[in-house]
């Protein structure tokens, strides 16, 4: 699977660890930055990540910032993106099975390395269930995106 990954300055170290984990797991990684400690604005990287997912350059995306909150808000402003802020494996699993989330957001200042990697592994291994109730709910979410 091709995974796009981004972070702001607070998530760089964990992003590098997640990217290496993905590569070791035979995934293709599209690292779109940032790669330094100089302060950057996470919405700029959310756009890069979401565009990669929506254009098909990546199958899914992972975004890290300090708390994960700003990243998830920014990603969810982009039509067609369903970003989930996950700090546990249950939420990561449910976000895929029930919500077909295509972007995973995590807080680098909230999670340790091992838990973050477990969340990523869980999220990548879960699949959308495609049951009628979940499909119906996703259609309603897509309808909300069309509102002005």
| pLDDT by residue, tens only, the chain of 148 residues | 999 999 999 999 999 999 999 999 999 999 999 999 999 999 999 999 999 999 999 999 999 999 999 999 999 999 999 999 999 999 999 999 999 999 999 999 999 999 999 999 999 999 999 999 999 999 999 999 998 6
The catalytic residues are 65, 98
Phi/psi at 111 (nearest 5 deg)?
A: -110, 145
pLDDT at 5: 98
pLDDT at 124: 98
pLDDT at 19: 98
Tokens of 128: 């959308």
- 6 neighbors 14 (Cβ within 8 angstroms): no
pLDDT at 121: 98
User: Which residue is associated with the tokens 């170290």?
Assistant: 13
| Residue range 2-145, CATH number | 3.40.1400.10
| C-alpha distances out from residue 40 to 44, 63, 65, 114, Å | 8, 14, 10, 26
pLDDT at 70: 97
């Amino acid at each position: 699977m091709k995974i796009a990954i981004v972070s702001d300055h607070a998530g760089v170290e964990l992003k590098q660890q997640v990217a290496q984990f993905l590569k070791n797991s035979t995934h293709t990684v599209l690292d779109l930055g940032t790669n330094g400690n100089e302060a950057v604005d996470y919405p700029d990287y959310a756009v890069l990540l979401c565009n990669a997912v929506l254009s098909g350059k990546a199958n899914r995306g992972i975004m890290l910032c300090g708390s994960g909150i700003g990243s998830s808000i920014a990603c969810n402003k982009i039509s067609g993106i369903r970003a989930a802020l996950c700090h546990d494996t249950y939420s990561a699993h449910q976000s895929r099975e029930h919500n077909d989330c295509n972007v995973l957001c995590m807080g680098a200042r909230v999670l340790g390395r091992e838990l973050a990697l477990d969340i990523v592994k869980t999220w990548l291994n879960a699949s959308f269930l495609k049951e009628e109730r979940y499909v119906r709910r996703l259609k309603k979410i897509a309808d909300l995106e069309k509102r002005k």
